[in-house]
């Protein structure tokens, strides 16, 4: 009996495979993480119920999903803008802290400013701080061909040391000795969207950012230039597109959006700056942008999903007694599965005989 032979051909995967990719990703992730859940003496089906269903079943946890998704939407969109142009910004975490630092400083100086104007000033300050922090790595990449993955990653550590030095120095609380900035003014705080909840106007800012970026990337000539540069720099240059300027603009816009994420965390949740402001939102934004296929709308949906998983990780920990970091393991596993699925989308399995 002659066994059939198969081979991989580098061509587009079937439409049904691309359509079912999210479902297949979830199934594979479930299978791979079930062993860890069983090791934690819990039922995998129960665990995934608390991961994905239970947080949506009541008002408090549903609103918390939106709260946790807000910075993830912004960092995911920030990474998307850069990656679309072929600029691999790994520095969204540092740019987030730059925006947060600017917001914390501005927020203490806006006592007499009306809330709408204070919000605009803080928003502009967070965006500009992110732009400035992204500027040096962007210039090094565009004009000196220095690898942006290395430089943007290193700038994350630099800004964290700067923030730590400021919080443990001039901003240290003189009474408690706690390393945190002074409280921002009431007028500088983002209003709550729902009474007696943590959901704030930053979520609206995040959603608007998603639609603005989607429109720019898909409906404007600038978005077409970004995508052309990302697909092939030499081809874009041959078509008359200023490759260097386009990449520089993408890098700076990306940094600015990440800076807004820092602003909304300070003005919407903490009301002051602390060194543990972000549990890694900038790095998670890379996973979210990848999972969303660099489509702004899909990235927004992906961020909501990760907010759901993050909230669900706490729920499953309380309900079943498994470690809360299982959510992080699930996210990391999902990233690896997604990368594998994207690779498979470029191939088709054909039977030789």
How far lies 129's CA from each of 116, 188, 200, 254, 285, in Å? 20, 17, 22, 12, 19
Buried b (16+ CB within 10 A) or exposed e, 162-192: ebeebbeeebeeeeeeebbbeebbebbbbee
End-to-end CA distance of the chain: 13
Kindly write down the DSSP assignment for every residue of 24-91, as one continuous string.
Answer: HHHHHHHHHHHHHHHHTT--HHHHHHHHHTGGGSSHHHHHHHHHHHHHHHHHHHHHHHHHHTT-----
The 10s digit of each residue's pLDDT in 238-257 is: 999 999 999 999 999 999 99
Query: CA-CA distance, 288 to 69, in Å (whole number)?
Result: 11
- Is a pLDDT exceeding 90 seen at residue 187? yes
How many other CB atoms are there within 10 angstroms of residue 198's CB atom?
16
Return the minimum-mean-pLDDT range out of 8-12, 21-25, 33-37, 76-80. Answer: 8-12
The β-bridge partners of 6 are 351
Phi, then psi, of 249 in degrees rounded to 5? -60, -45
The 10s digit of each residue's pLDDT in 267-323 is: 999 999 999 999 999 999 998 998 888 999 999 999 999 999 889 888 888 888 877
How far lies 61's CA from each of 65, 171, 190, 197, 322, in Å? 6, 34, 21, 10, 19
Query: CA-CA distance, 297 to 213, in Å (whole number)?
Result: 9
Domains annotated for the chain, with CATH where assigned, are 26-351 (1.10.3470)
Confidence of residue 12 (pLDDT cuts 50, 70, 90): low
27's CB contacts (< 8 A; 6+ apart) are none
Q: What is the pLDDT of residue 317?
A: 81
Kindly write down the DSSP assignment for every residue of 229-289, as one continuous string.
Answer: HHH-HHHHHHTT--HHHHHHHHHHHHHHHHHHHHHHHIIIIISS--TTS-SSHHHHHHHHH
Query: CA-CA distance, 182 to 101, in Å (whole number)?
Result: 12
Choose between 337 and 14: higher pLDDT: 337
How many other CB atoms are there within 10 angstroms of residue 127's CB atom?
23
Return the minimum-mean-pLDDT range out of 55-69, 142-156, 173-187. Answer: 173-187
Nearest Cα neighbor of 210 from 69, 332, 342 is: 69
Q: What is the pLDDT of residue 13?
A: 65
Query: CA-CA distance, 241 to 235, in Å (whole number)?
Result: 9
Return the minimum-mean-pLDDT range out of 92-101, 202-211, 276-285. Answer: 276-285
- The DSSP call for residue 187 is G
Q: What is the pLDDT of residue 79?
A: 98
pTM greater than 0.75 (yes/no): yes
């Amino acid at each position: 009996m002659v066994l059939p032979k198969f081979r991989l051909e580098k061509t587009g995967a079937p439409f049904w495979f691309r359509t079912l990719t999210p479902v297949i990703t979830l199934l594979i992730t479930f299978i791979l993480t079930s062993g860890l859940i069983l090791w934690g003496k819990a039922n995998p089906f129960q665990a995934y119920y608390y991961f994905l269903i239970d947080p949506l079943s009541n008002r408090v946890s549903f609103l918390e999903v939106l709260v946790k998704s807000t910075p993830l939407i912004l960092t995911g969109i920030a990474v998307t803008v850069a990656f679309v142009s072929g600029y691999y910004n790994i520095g969204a975490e540092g740019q987030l802290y730059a925006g947060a630092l600017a917001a914390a400083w501005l927020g203490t100086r806006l006592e007499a400013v009306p809330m709408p104007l204070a919000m605009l000033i803080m928003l502009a300050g967070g965006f500009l701080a992110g732009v400035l922090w992204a500027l040096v790595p962007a210039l090094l990449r565009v004009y000196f061909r220095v690898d942006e993955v290395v430089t943007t990653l290193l700038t994350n550590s630099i800004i964290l040391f700067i923030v730590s030095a400021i919080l443990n120095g001039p901003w240290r609380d003189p009474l408690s000795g706690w390393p945190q900035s002074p409280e921002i003014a009431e007028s500088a705080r983002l209003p709550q969207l729902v009474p007696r909840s943590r959901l704030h106007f930053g979520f609206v800012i995040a959603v608007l950012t998603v639609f603005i970026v989607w429109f720019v990337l898909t409906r404007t000539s600038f978005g077409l230039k970004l995508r052309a540069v990302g697909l092939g720099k030499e081809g874009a240059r041959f078509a008359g597109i200023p490759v260097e300027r386009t990449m520089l603009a993408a890098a700076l816009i990306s940094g600015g959006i990440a800076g807004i994420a820092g602003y909304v965390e300070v003005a919407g949740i903490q009301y002051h700056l602390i060194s543990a402001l972000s549990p890694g939102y900038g790095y998670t934004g890379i996973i979210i942008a990848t999972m969303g296929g660099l489509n702004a709308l899909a990235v927004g949906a992906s961020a909501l999903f990760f907010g759901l998983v993050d909230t669900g990780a706490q729920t499953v920990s309380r309900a079943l007694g498994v470690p809360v970091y299982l959510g992080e393991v699930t996210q990391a596993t999902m990233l690896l599965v997604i990368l594998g699925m994207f690779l498979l989308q470029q191939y088709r399995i054909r039977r030789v005989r």
